[in-house]
Structure 1
Amino acid sequence: MEGFSLRVVLADDHPGMIAGVRHGLSSAVTIQLTGTAGNSTELFRILDTGCCDVLVSDYSMPGNEHGDGIALFSLIQRRYPSVKLVVLTMLDNPAVLSALRSQGISCVVSKADAVNYLIPAIHAAATGGTYYSPSVEKSMRMRDMDRRTPELLSKRELEVLRLYASGLTVNEIAERVSRSKKTISTQKARAMQKLGIERDVDLLRYAMENGIVASSSQPGAAVDDAPED
C-alpha cells in the first residue's frame, strides 16, 4: 500500500550497532526509524511520545531506571500494549530464548546474523507473526528437538538453583540443606543441563529473570524434606 510505514524505535547501548541498524533499515521503504535509545530510561521517554509501532531492542543494556532483559520487556508489554517487540541479541542460549517465547516475544534476531534480517522480523512483529533469524532458529530447533531431558527442575534442583543465585557457594548450600557437597554439585549440574545452560553467569541471569530469585534477595530457607547422602 502506497504511503504505508511502520514507525520503529531502536534501543541498544552500542552506538556502532545503532549506526549499523540505521543503515540496514534505510533501504526498507516501509520502515521509518523514529527514535534511538542507549538505555531503558531514554527508551521510555521516546515510547511516551507514542511514536512507535515496533520496538527493536537489545536484550542486555545498562540497567538505568527500568532494567533490561525479560523484566524490561514485561514492563513495556504492560505499559505500551500496542507496541510490538523485536529482540536483537547476542544471546542464543536456549533458556533465554525459551523465556522470551514464554513472554510472548516471537520475533528475535541474533546480532551474529546480517542486520537485514531485521526487516522481515519487524514486519512479522507488526502483524503478530513469528520470525527468528537463522542463528536463533537453529538454537530453537535444537531445543525443541532435544526431548531426552525433562523440561522441569525437581524440587531440590530448583532449591539449589535458588540458593546458588542468592549468593551461596556449593559448600554453603550443602551445609544449609544438610546434603553432601557432591550431591549439591550434581544437582546444580543437572539443573544446568536441563535448562541448556553452560555458564554460571547465564544460570544466575536465568534465575533472576524467571523469578526464582530477585537480584537483591538474600538466601532463603531450605526445602523441608529429608536430606540426601
Structure 2
Amino acid sequence: MGPIRVLLADDHPVVRDGFQRILESDERIQIIASASSGHEAFEQFRAVKPDIVVLDLTMPSQEGAPDNSSISGGMEAIRRILAHDSRAKVLVLSSCETKPYPSQVIGAGVKGYLTKRCAPAELIDAVVRVNLGERYFSPSIQDQLDDSAGDSSPVNQLSSRELQIFVMLASGHSVSQIAEEVFLSPKTVHAHRSNIKRKLNLKANAEIVHMAMRHGLIDP
C-alpha cells in the first residue's frame, strides 16, 4: 500500500508550507497537490483524486476574490467536493473554532475537524485515522458538538448554505458578488437572503451585520 495522498488547501503560503512539512515528516503521508482558494481546491480534487483533502475554512472562493478572511471559500469547496464525490474524505484544519461553524460543516459531511492549535502529532494522527475511515475531532470541537443539543442560538437554524451567505452579507458582499463567488444566480441568492431574514426575524441589512458581530461570526 502506498502513502496517503493529500490535497492541502490554505490561502496563506507560509502556513500551507508549514503544514506540508509536518505532514510529510511522516513517511505514510504525501502531499500531491495544494490550493489557495475554494475553486482551486475543487479543481485540484477533480484532477488528482486525493485520498484526503485537508483544508482551511477561511480562504477566498476564487483567486482575487474580495475579503480573504471570509469562510465562503472553504465552505464552497466542501460543498462542491462532496457534491462531486459523496465518499470524499475532507478534514477541516482551521482557526474557526466558534459555533456554529463546526456543527455546520460536520453536518455537511466532513470526516474531521482540527483547530490550527493542534500539535503536529495530532494532525498526523487525524489524517491517518480519517484515511482508515474513522472520524476525528479536536477535543474542543468535540466538546462543542456534545453541547450543541442545548444550544438555542438563532443562527443554528440556518443551513450551511444560508450560513455561508449570511456571513458574506454581513461582511459587506453584494448579492451579485455572492452569486459569482458561490456559483448561484442572483435570484437564488435573493431567495436565500429572504429566508435568512425570516428565520432570524431580521428586517434590515444592518441587522444582519449586528447579529453576525454578536455571535462572533465577523470582526467588529
Normalised-by-shorter TM-score class? 0.5 to 0.7
Equivalent pair of 1:108/1:131 in contact (CA under 8 Å) = yes
The 1:149–1:112 alpha-carbon spacing in structure 2 relative to 1, beyond 3 Å, is same
Query: What is the aligned partner in structure 1 of residue 163 from structure 2?
Result: none
From 68, 72, 77, the counterpart of 2:77: 72
Is structure 2 residue 10 aligned with structure 1 residue 12? Answer: yes
Partner of 2:11: helix, strand, or coil? coil
Compute the displacement of 1:27 (Å).
2.4
Is structure 2 residue 140 aligned with structure 1 residue 101? Answer: no
Amino acid at match of 2:108: Q
- TM-score in terms of structure 2 length: 0.65
Compute the displacement of 1:98 (Å).
1.0
Is structure 2 residue 52 aligned with structure 1 residue 54? Answer: yes
Amino acid at match of 1:62: P
5+ residue gaps, structure 2:
66-71, 158-194
**CA distance in 2: counterparts of 1:92 and 1:108, whole angstroms:** 9
**CA distance in 1: counterparts of 2:22 and 2:91, whole angstroms:** 15
Matches within 5 A, 1:118-197: 118-144=123-149, 147=150, 149=152, 159=198, 161=200, 163=202, 168-170=205-207
**CA distance in 2: counterparts of 1:169 and 1:62, whole angstroms:** 23
Compute the displacement of 1:149 (Å).
4.0
Partner of 2:218: helix, strand, or coil? helix
Query: What is the aligned partner in structure 2 of residue 37 from structure 1?
Result: 35
The structure with more helix, counted as a fraction of residues: 2
Compute the displacement of 1:94 (Å).
2.3
Partner of 1:136: helix, strand, or coil? helix
Compute the displacement of 1:80 (Å).
3.4
Query: What is the aligned partner in structure 2 of residue 178 from structure 1?
Result: none
Amino acid at match of 2:55: S
Is structure 2 residue 118 aligned with structure 1 residue 113? Answer: yes
Equivalent pair of 2:60/2:74 in contact (CA under 8 Å) = no
The 1:50–1:140 alpha-carbon spacing in structure 2 relative to 1, beyond 3 Å, is same
- Please report the RMSD computed on the Cα atoms of aligned residues, expressed in angstroms: 3.2
Equivalent pair of 1:41/1:64 in contact (CA under 8 Å) = yes
Partner of 1:201: helix, strand, or coil? coil
Deviations 1:179-210 (A, max 9, x none): xxxxxxxxx97xx8xxxx723638xxxxxxxx
Compute the displacement of 1:43 (Å).
2.2
Q: Which structure has the greater CA radius of gyration? A: 1
Amino acid at match of 1:129: E
**CA distance in 1: counterparts of 2:45 and 2:151, whole angstroms:** 43
5+ residue gaps, structure 1:
174-187, 203-229
Is structure 2 residue 215 aligned with structure 1 residue 198? Answer: yes
The 1:41–1:198 alpha-carbon spacing in structure 2 relative to 1, beyond 3 Å, is closer
Partner of 1:63: helix, strand, or coil? coil
Query: What is the aligned partner in structure 1 of residue 184 from structure 2?
Result: none
**CA distance in 2: counterparts of 1:158 and 1:128, whole angstroms:** 38
Query: What is the aligned partner in structure 1 of residue 96 from structure 2?
Result: 91
**CA distance in 2: counterparts of 1:116 and 1:14, whole angstroms:** 21
**CA distance in 2: counterparts of 1:68 and 1:150, whole angstroms:** 24
Query: What is the aligned partner in structure 2 of residue 213 from structure 1?
Result: none
Equivalent pair of 1:25/1:116 in contact (CA under 8 Å) = no
